[in-house]
A and B are shown apart, each in its own frame.
Chain A
């Protein structure tokens, strides 16, 4: 059974740092792109970042560039999100999600087929 379990959320002051973890099991972690998606309280979904299978490519939403770093440890089946210089607007539930990565003959598509339960990050003084 595929499982993704996030941890590391909590209350942090503005300007502070936090490191989220996502423990994966039930599939070959090193074969999939992985993503972080967040959801502010009562708001919609926002894609945050993703990382290629071997960690050689990483992409971010503009609002977190230079502050957040996505990484992975395939030996530990784990995904991470290092969050620095946190702001009130970073308050959200953070989900990790696996990208099934369906590819046709002409294109590849983001298919977030498994998600964790989310971990809440609250940035407040």
Chain B
């Protein structure tokens, strides 16, 4: 199975900060990667698909980039509602695998 390694596992940031989360695949996965946001007690929410395509309704401060093995989720200006845990997901092959998650906390 393809391993997805996210870093950092947690971070503290302030409102207005630029935040970058990375995800590294154990082998090349083209751009078969998505990003999800999850708040406590809630189901995950799709943010980005195909590495860089913004899901409908998601604010433009979220962006994704990367291809092959290295990917990035960027929040250009962190808002109070963005404090959550973020997961990457690869669907290059089965089994589909998630990264371990990055918890974004208030500084």
The count of chain A contact residues (Cβ–Cβ below 8 Å) is 26
B20–chain A nearest beta-carbon distance, Å: 20
- Report B-chain residues with C-beta under 8 Å of the C-beta of A104: 50
Known: A102-B50, A102-B53. A110 touches B96 (CB 8 A): yes
| Contact residues of B between 74 and 107, Cβ < 8 Å to A | 87, 89, 91, 94-101
Is B96 within 8 A of A115, CB to CB?
no
The count of chain B contact residues (Cβ–Cβ below 8 Å) is 26
Of A17-25, A41-49, A69-77, A78-86, the segment with at least 4 beta carbons within 8 Å of chain B is A41-49
The one of B38, B43, B98 that contacts A117, using a Cβ cutoff of 8 Å: B43
Determine whether A28 belongs to the interface, using a CB cutoff of 8 Å to chain B.
no
The one of A47, A102, A111, A116 that contacts B97, using a Cβ cutoff of 8 Å: A47
Q: Is the interface of B mostly helix, strand, loop or mixed?
A: loop
The one of A46, A59, A109 that contacts B94, using a Cβ cutoff of 8 Å: A59
B15–chain A nearest beta-carbon distance, Å: 26
- Report A-chain residues with C-beta under 8 Å of the C-beta of B94: 59
- Write the chain A residue with the least CB distance to B38: A45
Q: List 25 A-B residue pairs with CB atoms under 8 Å apart, sorted by A's residue number.
A: A44-B98, A45-B36, A45-B101, A47-B95, A47-B96, A47-B97, A61-B1, A61-B96, A62-B1, A95-B43, A95-B44, A100-B46, A109-B32, A109-B34, A109-B49, A110-B32, A110-B49, A110-B89, A111-B34, A111-B55, A112-B36, A112-B46, A113-B46, A115-B43, A117-B43
Q: Which residues of A contact B (CB under 8 A)?
A: 35, 37, 44-47, 50, 59-62, 95, 97, 100, 102, 104, 107, 109-113, 115-118
